[in-house]
């Protein structure tokens, strides 16, 4: 992969988990990172950590609630108004919960759709044209192994990730030979705060991967001269993503439902 030093990356959902891991790794490679998330204190703490290690201009924090309907366009206007060129876009922000759809609050669903889909699309639409014009850039959209099969107890989340995967693969098809790399990253269960927000967890146990695993999988995919449209992190997750090819959809849904059924944390 080309030298990324001196480039600027915009990372959403950067206050913890995968977003934080992407920020730390890219900063270590000399990339200037713009960190966006809702939790201002954690975001600024991460920016301070990065600037202490890599210099005052290595990171900046932009606290913002990405669930608002116009968050993507607002963020794009702020950065363009400051004359900031985004060379790497990492649409990492996303959330969901393990719960029956009929028990989900409507406000939660609306926010989930806005963050997981609407803001992601807006930001991609704001910054991809410039990358294509410059014939240089990287767009990384965080999908999930949830994109490959219907997911009882995470019905909305799974559907949003199916959208992200399809959307990103289509953009990959449109940007071939443009100089821009577009990649959907599909982690499986990862050791982040994802399942902590509502006090439940699915039966995942020892299959959980680390954020560092996902980052390494991402970088390896981008190092390829012809990078793939999507990459799944971890061998077991790759097998899981292929399960729908070997089972009927009905059987696949039943299996997913048993795995994802909410269980109270120990």
Q: Among residues 22, 57, 153, 157, which one is catalytic?
A: 157
Token pair in block for residue 90: 């990492």
What's the number of CA atoms in the CB half-sphere (13 Å) around residue 218? 28
100: burial class by Cβ within 10 Å (0-12, 13-18, 19+)? Answer: exposed
Active site residue 157: yes
What does the alpha-carbon distance between residue 266 and residue 246 come to, in Å, rounded to a whole number?
A: 34
Spatial distance between the Cα atoms of 130 and 236, rounded to a whole number of angstroms: 37
Q: Give the up-direction half-sphere exposure of residue 56: CA atoms within 13 A in the CB hemisphere.
A: 0
Cβ contact 140:164 at 8 Å:
no
- Which residues does the annotation mark as catalytic? 157
């Amino acid at each position: 992969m080309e030298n990324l030093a001196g480039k600027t990356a915009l990372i959403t959902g950067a206050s913890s988990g995968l977003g934080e891991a992407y920020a730390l790794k890219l900063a270590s490679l000399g990339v200037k990172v713009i960190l966006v998330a809702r939790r201002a204190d954690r975001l600024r703490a991460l920016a301070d950590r990065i600037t202490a290690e890599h210099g005052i201009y290595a990171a900046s924090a932009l606290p913002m609630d990405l669930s608002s309907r116009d968050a993507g366009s607002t963020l794009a206007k702020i950065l363009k108004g400051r004359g900031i060129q985004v060379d790497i876009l990492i649409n990492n922000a996303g959330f969901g919960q393990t719960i029956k759809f009929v028990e989900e609050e409507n406000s939660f669903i609306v926010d989930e759709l806005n963050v997981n889909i609407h803001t992601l699309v807006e930001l991609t639409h704001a910054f991809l044209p410039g990358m294509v014009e410059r014939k240089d850039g990287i767009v990384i959209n965080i999908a999930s192994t949830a994109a490959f099969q219907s997911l009882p107890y995470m019905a909305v989340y799974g559907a949003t990730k199916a959208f992200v995967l399809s959307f990103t693969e289509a953009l990959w098809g449109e940007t071939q030979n443009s100089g821009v790399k577009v990649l959907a990253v599909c982690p499986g269960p990862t050791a982040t705060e994802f399942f902590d927000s509502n006090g439940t967890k699915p039966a995942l146990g020892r299959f959980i991967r680390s954020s560092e695993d996902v980052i390494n999988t991402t970088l390896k995919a981008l190092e390829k001269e012809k990078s793939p449209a999507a990459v799944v992190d971890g061998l077991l997750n790759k097998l899981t993503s292929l399960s729908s090819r070997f089972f009927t959809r009905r059987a696949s849904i039943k299996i997913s439902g048993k795995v994802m059924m909410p269980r109270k944390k120990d």
